[in-house]
Structure 1
Amino acid sequence: MISTEFHSKLLFGLATWFLCTPCLGQQKYEREFGIKPNAVPEMAVEFVSSVFKKSKIHWYGEQSLTGKSIEAKLKYSGKRYSIEFDESGHIQDVEIISSISKMNSSGQAKLKDSLSISFSHYKIVKTQVHWQGPERILKESLLENMAVKGVLVRYEIILKGFRDRIERYFEVLSENDGTVVSIKEIVQRNTDNLIY
């Protein structure tokens, strides 16, 4: 007969494991498609044009498991930006193509340790700095070319990883200190857009 104390310890252990492990079973589905500038909400157009002068902007619609959004992709001063808006034109986040090397050394080590535990082998395809915050603060950050106070800074990493001897694409979201927030398998996404 298994004791009640054993049951309690087992349940506590399982609960701790689930709470301390990043979400590994989640999936991410995205479908991107080009849209014409005249189909973009005016608020989104005004935001982008007020920050990026004389830049060629590519507009995309995006369908995901959480709904629809609109994305502006562009290159400015040698950097590649992706700015996401909701359907009414309110900004949601800013992503800037970057590198793991931009993270501090202790954060890099922590992140790499976590990825080595989650995957038998992996290769990073793309890294982006991910900014979230109020519109005014995000605009100021873009104009200053750095995250100002009030911006949540994270890293979004697209990688090819092996799990159970099967290679798939995954999206990893990490805090600035290397703590993994989530790992989601990418179900369907345009491969070209993974790189851009």
Structure 2
Amino acid sequence: MKNNLIKIILVACLFCFQLGHSQYKYEREHRILKSQFPAIAISSIDESVTDFKRIKFYKETDSTKINYEAKLKKDKLWYGIKFDEDGTLEAIEILIKSTDVPNDTYAKIEEYLNINFTKYKIKKLKQQYPSNNEAVKDTFKNAFQNLILPSNNYQIVVVGKTDKGYIDYEILFDADGNFKKSKTSLPPNYDHVLY
């Protein structure tokens, strides 16, 4: 009885320890044709977005799921519209600069980066509009008006130096700059390069 209790406590501690560390989800992004993109997702974009330029379609595969993303330019901003495998909207992301983030939020993000890395360089910064329980039209409206809302997230792609060396990370923060989750990311896919 006592041995079983010790084993259960040990397993629970190991499980909790694993949750505290960043997740390793190796994500690859491949460009695809419009015909390979979910039809429901294309109709959502066509209904909600007008006057955009340079739309490209991508399929993202990681160790746990498949996502689709449409990247486009509208009003001098780059947008990424993410859908799940069924074509349901997950989030809309806007590529932004650090000056577009509220000062208090950015200070908390920098504090997290300074604590966790001896050196770091921010490669990309995105403002994210998750489609939690909102109607799809509301999420599109909020994102394309570039509103700062309490439901927003900030996603940072950063090269960070730790005791293991330099590693690329995708780190997600909430609207107040509080850490939400982190995952390592693979370097860009250079399958198209021929030697």
Structure 1 position 62, deviation (Å): 1.0
Higher strand share: 1
What SS class does the counterpart of residue 152 from structure 2 fall into?
strand
CA contact (8 A) 1:103 1:177 kept: no
Determine whether 1:45 maps to 2:42. Answer: yes
Match of 2:6 in 1: none
RMSD between aligned alpha carbons?
A: 2.4
Distance 1:152 1:87, change over 3 A: same
CA distance in 1, matches of 2:22, 2:155: 17
1:28-77 deviation digits (Å, cap 9, x = unpaired): 31111111111222211111122332433101111012211111001111
| Structure 2 counterpart of 1:52, one-letter code | V
Displaced runs of 4+ in structure 1, greater than 4 A? none
Match of 2:68 in 1: 70
Determine whether 1:32 maps to 2:29. Answer: yes
What SS class does the counterpart of residue 139 from structure 2 fall into?
helix
Q: 5+ unaligned residues in a row in structure 2: which ranges?
A: 1-8, 191-195
Q: Which has the higher contact order (CA 8 A, sep 6+)?
A: 1
CA distance in 1, matches of 2:127, 2:32: 25
CA contact (8 A) 1:96 1:130 kept: yes
Q: 5+ unaligned residues in a row in structure 1: which ranges?
A: 1-10, 192-196
Matching residue within 67, 81, 84 for 1:83: 81
Instruction: Kindly report which structure 2 residues correspond to 1:137-152, keeping only aligned pairs within 5 A, or say none.
Output: 137-146=138-147, 152=151
| Structure 1 counterpart of 2:47, one-letter code | S
CA contact (8 A) 2:151 2:175 kept: no
CA distance in 2, matches of 1:31, 1:153: 25
| Structure 1 counterpart of 2:97, one-letter code | S
Determine whether 1:169 maps to 2:173. Answer: no
Match of 2:93 in 1: 95
Aligned length: 172
* TM-score between both structures, scaled by the size of structure 2: 0.78
| Structure 2 counterpart of 1:87, one-letter code | E
CA contact (8 A) 2:153 2:174 kept: yes
What SS class does the counterpart of residue 85 from structure 2 fall into?
coil
Match of 1:128 in 2: 126
CA distance in 1, matches of 2:146, 2:173: 21
